[in-house]
Structure 1
């Protein structure tokens, strides 16, 4: 199995819930084990931007997301914001990769300062201290100097800053195409196969015959 086998996926309260839900579905389809974290603000965004209404309790949410994505039993594990015994809270148990999508600027700031006020922030802190892969997908416009300074700090610490900024060279026809552009870039970073977006140049290849 190529790429990360276990992934922590966190959703926070920025616009772009579709990115997180689509990534979850792709990870499940690629047989990855997903440790899922979501803030209360993100649950509100999901309800606002999509037709999905997530249960508030971790166990009920886990059952809902498993059915929603067609996941195998135990493939998705949902943890509450103060579940400090969760594997993601320790370097000895956390997956080798973590993605925060969408990543609010508040979460970005908390991770940059090592706040660890909730499980999402702690899991990201673990990823940084253990030198594991941390991908942050901010969705904000415009960025303030504070946002940019936090992103530079995190980039210098080894995190990947991957803004939710879809391209258009693949000639998108639908909103789903724009969502897939960003999700495909995340999967590329994780080393997970995807066929949603050709790599640059592939769609221009012609036969020599």
Structure 2
């Protein structure tokens, strides 16, 4: 094994987590908790709109969510480590992803650390998963979804898998996040996998 291979093998997996202002703050918060359980290093950036959503949906303050991450950055800090392609990470998940954030990333007009970090993932050909939370969609939304997909992102709307027969909202969230982390070859053990037969 070369020196470079040993260095990569010894580093903990590292993911950037973005929370933007769409409904579904529970996805981002639960994702941070799962990453902690899995010993995956998390680098967090939260938009100002997401702070409002966190307060409204989960009665959580920004500091409460930041405490779940290994490292946290202000969304205005465009000089943060995650704004550079030279900072080594394994990918990024935006959970949830608002249409505004989607649109910034789709056009490359990145006015915040959140959208800049996502743009870095695309330019460095790293995995970017966007849990876009909006419905219904108009043609402009659909064009933006196509643009980020063509640029290399994975659009993953948080659509429940009812074949798993979830008994609670928490089970639905865990199943969805388990499938998102599957995209990074991380098994959370929260996914009830379809084996071709009904339970």
- Which residue number in structure 2 is paired with residue 172 of structure 1? 166
Matched, 1:91 2:85: yes
Give the direction of change, closer, same or farther, for the CA distance of 1:179–1:203 in structure 2 (3 Å limit).
Answer: farther
Matched, 1:119 2:127: no
- Which residue number in structure 2 is paired with residue 160 of structure 1? 154
TM-aligned CA deviation for residue 203 of structure 1: 7.2
Q: Is the 8 A contact 1:108 1:150 kept in 2?
A: yes
Q: Is the 8 A contact 1:14 1:140 kept in 2?
A: yes
* Whole-Å separation in 2 of the counterparts to 1:6 and 1:202: 34
TM-aligned CA deviation for residue 128 of structure 1: 0.5
Give the TM-score normalised by the residue count of structure 1. 0.85
TM-aligned CA deviation for residue 204 of structure 1: 5.4
User: Any idea what SS the aligned residue of 1:146 has?
Assistant: helix
* Whole-Å separation in 2 of the counterparts to 1:119 and 1:158: 19
Matched, 1:133 2:127: yes
TM-aligned CA deviation for residue 152 of structure 1: 0.9
Query: What count of residue pairs does the alignment treat as equivalent?
Result: 189
TM-aligned CA deviation for residue 51 of structure 1: 3.0
Alignment of 1:95-110 (within 5 A): 95-110=89-104
User: Any idea what SS the aligned residue of 2:74 has?
Assistant: coil
Give the TM-score normalised by the residue count of structure 2. 0.89
Of 170, 180, 184 in structure 1, the residue corresponding to residue 178 of structure 2 is 184
Matched, 1:49 2:43: no
TM-aligned CA deviation for residue 181 of structure 1: 2.0
TM-aligned CA deviation for residue 198 of structure 1: 2.3
- Which residue number in structure 1 is paired with residue 4 of structure 2? none
Q: Which runs of 5+ in 1 are unaligned?
A: 67-75
Matched, 1:193 2:187: yes
User: Any idea what SS the aligned residue of 2:164 has?
Assistant: coil
* Whole-Å separation in 2 of the counterparts to 1:82 and 1:44: 16
Mean CA deviation greater in 126-135 or 186-195: 186-195
* Whole-Å separation in 1 of the counterparts to 2:16 and 2:36: 12
Superposition CA RMSD, Å:
1.9
- Which residue number in structure 1 is paired with residue 142 of structure 2? 148
